[in-house]
Structure 1
Amino acid sequence: MACHEIAALRLGLMNILGVNDEAEKAHELAELGEAARTPGPLASLTVASDLDGLVKLFSTSLVDLNEKVARTPAGDPKLPYMRSLVVLTKKVELELRAHVESLGRMNRELEEMHDLVHELFPAE
């Protein structure tokens, strides 16, 4: 198992941010393998076009990851790695939410500053 959730998130972010680095995209698609073409949250995440969708799809992909970990037998040698993925992706989810909230706050504050400028310098 690879870090599919992180690779898919990176591809979605590249779409939203307008990153056109074909080598990076190819790297992440290779990491995802068949998961990039299998219908579901990971494939949808790779083509996300807005932040709200990106956050929702990433959260959904984490539900799937948690379910995989829960179904994994206790003696499976991949279990520690899978559990570390749960921790990593949770941290990324929290960071992503914080950045989206910060951008929303910036947008609201821009409106507030715009209104202030018009209060100080009324349009004629």
Structure 2
Amino acid sequence: MACHEIAALRIGMMNVLGIKDQSVIEHEKNEIGPEALSHPGPILSLTSANNFEDLIRFFEASLTDLEQKISALQSGDPKIPYYTSLLILTKKVELDLKNSAQSFKTLYLDLEEMHDLVHEIYPA
């Protein structure tokens, strides 16, 4: 079992942040596996995300798939504790990702406000 959602998110985040570390990319792709990377879907899309909006959208879609996978498990399946833990982890990551995106939006807006303040203090 692998945390495909987390590995794919890490690759997508590398794209957004401009991190170019091929060894990490290969490690994460190995974690995901060739089957998940060869079929269209949220995991594959997440690996090619290049902005926060796409990261959030594709990560949320991958969580929907994860929830469906969990709901299909039979009672007593030995994978249930792992998938339950993974679901908790991914929910926390989803919240952190949304908060981070909001923080960057706030920073963007604050920069304009600070820029305007400088011009109020030192008119052109």
TM-score by length of 2: 0.97
Tell me the alpha carbon deviations over residues 9-67 of structure 1, each in whole angstroms, 9 at most, x when there is no partner: 00000111111111100000000112122100000000101110111110110011011
Equivalent residue for 2:63?
A: 62
Secondary structure (helix, strand or coil) at the match of 1:27 reads helix
Equivalent residue for 2:73?
A: 72
Secondary structure (helix, strand or coil) at the match of 1:74 reads coil
C-alpha distance in structure 1 between counterparts of 2:27 and 2:38, whole Å: 15
Equivalent residue for 1:14?
A: 14
- How large is the Cα RMSD of the aligned pairs? 0.7
Secondary structure (helix, strand or coil) at the match of 2:90 reads helix
Q: Percent identity?
A: 53
Instruction: Say how many residue pairs are matched.
Output: 123
C-alpha distance in structure 1 between counterparts of 2:109 and 2:8, whole Å: 29
TM-score by length of 1: 0.97
Structure 1 runs not aligned, ≥5 long: none
Structure 2 runs not aligned, ≥5 long: none
